């Protein structure tokens, strides 16, 4: 009887230790709140072993990005990180960037390649490979080997909506002008109206 009670107590104690140990590890491994989403561009000419990676793991479009994530791009591929209200950044080919964001501010360390700010509520702070800090506004690019920002013209894809708005706006104005001109000549233009003969 005593041995049976001792075995039950030993099994209960082992189960509690195992339960406590695993829940502690899960709590330590928690990554926190996602700050953005990754979109991968390119890759048509790359090999099967070329991946955009997040913290060393191959990533696909739509992957969540967390604070302090390291994002690396291979040759021929770029990555856009959408950080919601904080802004959007583009990592060029052969880039490695450790992202820091709290949902309102964007900063990070660029150890290789380039980073371009596509949009941002506030200036983006980038620490380069030389250890210097660069403040980037929308449309500016930083290189890991340079301590200065350079302006980059927005890509045509970013302004496609402007072109379509101009086309549809012009068509709408033309239709309104044509309809107005037709009404002016028939009603108030002094034209003689004749009735058909019966």
β partners of residue 125? 107, 135
Task: Look at residue 46 in the predicted model and tell me its pLDDT.
Answer: 44
Provide block-wise average pLDDT over 10 residues at a time, the chain (198 residues).
78 74 51 82 63 92 91 93 92 93 88 92 89 90 79 52 76 78 54 61
Task: Look at residue 27 in the predicted model and tell me its pLDDT.
Answer: 42
Task: Look at residue 182 in the predicted model and tell me its pLDDT.
Answer: 57
Query: Residue 3: exposed, middle, or buried by beta-carbon count in 10 A (0-12, 13-18, 19+)?
Result: exposed
Task: Look at residue 158 in the predicted model and tell me its pLDDT.
Answer: 52
pTM over 0.85: no
Q: What angle do CA 44, 46, 50 make, to 5 degrees?
A: 125
β partners of residue 133? 127
């Amino acid at each position: 009887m005593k041995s049976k009670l001792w075995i039950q107590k030993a099994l209960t104690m082992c189960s509690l230790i195992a339960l406590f140990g695993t829940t502690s590890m899960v709590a330590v491994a928690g990554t926190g709140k996602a700050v953005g989403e990754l979109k991968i561009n390119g890759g048509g000419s790359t090999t099967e072993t070329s991946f955009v990676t997040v913290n060393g793991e191959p990533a696909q479009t739509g992957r969540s990005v967390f604070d302090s994530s390291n994002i690396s791009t291979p040759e021929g591929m770029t990555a856009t990180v959408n950080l919601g209200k904080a802004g959007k950044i583009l990592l060029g080919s052969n880039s490695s960037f450790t992202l820091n964001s709290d949902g309102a501010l964007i900063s990070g360390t660029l150890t290789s390649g380039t980073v371009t700010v596509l949009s941002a509520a506030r200036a983006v702070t980038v620490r380069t490979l030389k250890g210097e800090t660069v403040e980037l506004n929308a449309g500016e690019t930083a290189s890991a080997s340079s301590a200065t920002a350079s302006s980059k013209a927005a890509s045509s894809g970013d302004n496609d909506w402007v072109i379509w708005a101009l086309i549809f706006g012009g068509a709408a104005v033309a239709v309104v002008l044509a309809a107005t001109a037709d009404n002016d000549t028939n009603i108030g233009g002094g034209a003689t109206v004749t009735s058909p003969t019966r």
